[in-house]
Amino acid sequence: MHLPVSLDPLSEQERSGIGVRIESVCSPEPQRMIELGSMEEGSSLIDELIVLTSQSLCQLEIPEHFNIIKEIGRGKYGQVLLVTHRCKGTPMALKVLPKASTQLQGFLREYCISLHLSCHPCIVGLFGIAFQSSEHYGFAQELVTGRDLFAIIQPRVGIPESAVKRCAVQISCALDFIHQRGLVHRDIKPENILLLDAHCQRVKLADFGLTQRSGTLIRYISGTLPYMSPELCAMVLEEPQKQPKSPPLKVEPSLDIWAFAVLLFCILTGFFPWERCNDADDFYMEFADWRGGQSQSSLPSQWRRFTPACMEMFRRMLALDPNERCTIGEVRRYVGKDWVREKDANGWVGVNGDVGTSTPSPCSSSYCDER
């Protein structure tokens, strides 16, 4: 049995029906292969892709068609395998999800959204391969041979500002592309940013398992992560609650803006600004008091290492009211400015008051369930 698909990564021309060709990483007016039109038309295109893929999903057993080299990623969803195709020898990353814990519709949605977005240079590319085996659903992605961003973060140190800015430009462009198509990534974290080199000259955004259309309702989540915004943390279902205290939350790009800001803080410092955005977290409440301007609170100590320009960026990205957060494109306006203060023998230059040594946990890998 041969796979009824090409084993070469999809060319721009082949992807013309599902995306836009980008002439440069952040071209504000990319040359279009087709005119995608409105967000609603983009959503209809994904729906059509889901229907077509479900009708043509081939049945195969992984060991019969692929040489499994090693596991290169694992999460609650399943695993990512480094494989080569037995006939052609093509190396690729195979994402496999157990049927026992994966709904077919969820798998099809992730694959088709990934395919729809894969023409962007800062998003992981796809081969045109989706399949099911007796125990798994799977699809093939381009192989990114470097590590993920999480792997290079030094605890309580971070990575160099220049590398952070290179990441910021590329990921903001990817998110801009996603948001323009009426989608929200919803899982922005260092583990989902793949590096093509050690200095972040080229990075790619991955993992669209939680990506949803703008306007989709979240009814509850069963845990929190430091990247989650306050309105999302309010959806947590605590024991013995049977229903969350808040009404369903509408998915909006502002969720990605907040998560992206926390990610930038994390890779600049090597630690999280807080553990969770609720009143049980002292670090978050200290920031919220300052950001809300409802008291005479001074800037929290762990933020004092940043320049005024950088704090202006964080202030706009981390607005407590999601309607007041800036767009992702506005973040790039700050890249040409200094973000971290210079440091001398006396500490951070220009800082009034101490920069606290008490901080939340170092950046770590985690996940939670959502519905």
Q: What is the pLDDT of residues 58-71, one digit of tens each?
A: 999 999 999 999 99
Query: Is residue 222's pLDDT more than 50?
Result: yes
Mean residue pLDDT across the chain = 86
Per-residue confidence at 41, pLDDT binned at 50, 70, 90? Answer: low
Query: Is residue 360's pLDDT more than 80?
Result: no
Q: Where are the beta strands (DSSP E) in the chain?
A: 58-59, 66-75, 78-85, 91-98, 126-132, 136-141, 183-184, 193-195, 203-205, 212-213, 217-218, 249-250, 343-344, 347-348
User: Which residues are bridge partners to 59 per DSSP?
Assistant: 132
Spatial distance between the Cα atoms of 31 and 362, rounded to a whole number of angstroms: 42
Spatial distance between the Cα atoms of 122 and 273, rounded to a whole number of angstroms: 26
* Residue of 47, 148, 176, 187 marked catalytic: 187
Query: Is 187 known to be catalytic?
Result: yes
Share of the chain above pLDDT 70, in %: 81
Of 23 and 323, more confident: 323
Q: Give me 116's structure tokens.
A: 């729809």
Helices (H), 227-356: 230-233, 254-269, 282-292, 308-317
Confidence (pLDDT) at 14: 41
Q: Which residues of the chain form CATH 1.10.510.10?
A: 149-348
| Residue 242 known to bind ligand | no
Q: What is the mean pLDDT of residues 179-190?
A: 97
Contact 244, 220 (CB under 8 A): yes
Confidence (pLDDT) at 11: 44
User: Which residue in the block uniquely carries the two structure tokens 């029906």?
Assistant: 17
79-102 pLDDT, tens digit per residue, is 999 999 999 999 999 999 999 999
DSSP letter at 350?
T
Contact 62, 136 (CB under 8 A): yes
Range with the poorest average pLDDT among 152-161, 207-216, 288-297:
288-297
Spatial distance between the Cα atoms of 95 and 118, rounded to a whole number of angstroms: 15
Q: Which residues of the chain form CATH 3.30.200.20?
A: 39-141
Q: Give me 141's structure tokens.
A: 């992605």
Q: Report the sign of the C-alpha dihedral through residues 173, 174, 177, 180, in that order.
A: negative
Spatial distance between the Cα atoms of 76 and 248, rounded to a whole number of angstroms: 24
Q: What is the architecture of the domain spanning 39-141? A: 2-Layer Sandwich (3.30)
Contact 170, 122 (CB under 8 A): yes
Query: Is residue 336's pLDDT more than 90?
Result: yes
Spatial distance between the Cα atoms of 107 and 84, rounded to a whole number of angstroms: 22
Spatial distance between the Cα atoms of 305 and 93, rounded to a whole number of angstroms: 39
C-alpha distances out from residue 175 to 103, 140, 159, 194, Å? 26, 22, 21, 15
Per-residue confidence at 237, pLDDT binned at 50, 70, 90? Answer: confident
Query: Is residue 169's pLDDT more than 90?
Result: yes
**Largest Cα–Cα separation, the chain:** 70
Fold classification of 149-348 (topology level) = Transferase(Phosphotransferase); domain 1 (1.10.510)
In angstroms and rounded to an integer, the radius of gyration of the C-alpha atoms of the chain is 21
